[in-house]
Amino acid sequence: MAILDVFDVSGSGMAAQTLRLNTTASNIANAESVAANPEDTYRARYPVFQASLTDALDGGQASSAVQVPGIIESDKPLNVRYEPDHPYANDDGYVTYPNVSVVEEMANMISASRSFQMNVEVLNTAKSLAERVLSLGQ
């Protein structure tokens, strides 16, 4: 792997973690949203990460990156609460809330933030090494 490939790998990792942070923020923002119909109730969303390995044409070296092939909806059951006075309550008095756990989402946000920070550290280290290599010729 060439030194410049590190920038691509780290950049793709940062982009993936940014998407992860955005979906987590969306989940937290919709944690208490309700809909009149349970089928329309928000469901937690999570990005799917995939390692992408590409062959370089010039030297046969492989380079890898992070790709996001899609975002999936959680299949956990929706939260049902007994609130007979709520305008969206069904005939039995139950309201359907999203299947979002704010505690899990906050842990996910911390993890994504730390992963982003680690990718920044990799990027800074690669930049520092590239600068040192350039200074060797002086």
Comparing 46 with 129, which gets the higher pLDDT?
A: 46
| Each residue's pLDDT tens digit, 2-21 | 777 888 889 999 999 999 99
Burial of 77 (0-12, 13-18, 19+ CB in 10 A): exposed
Would you list the DSSP string of 66-95? EEEEEEEE--SPPEEEE-TTSTT--TTSEE
pTM: 0.83
pLDDT given for residue 59 in this prediction = 55
For range 108-127, the mean pLDDT:
94
pLDDT for 125 equals 92
E strand or H helix that includes residue 50: strand 45-55
Contact 26, 46 (CB under 8 A): no
43: left (phi over 0), alpha (psi -120 to 50) or beta: beta
- For residue 60, report the phi and psi dihedrals to the nearest 5 degrees: 80, 5
Per-residue pLDDT, 134: 83
- How does pLDDT run across 57-116, given as a tens digit for each residue? 555 555 678 889 999 999 999 999 999 999 999 999 999 999 999 999 999 999 999 999
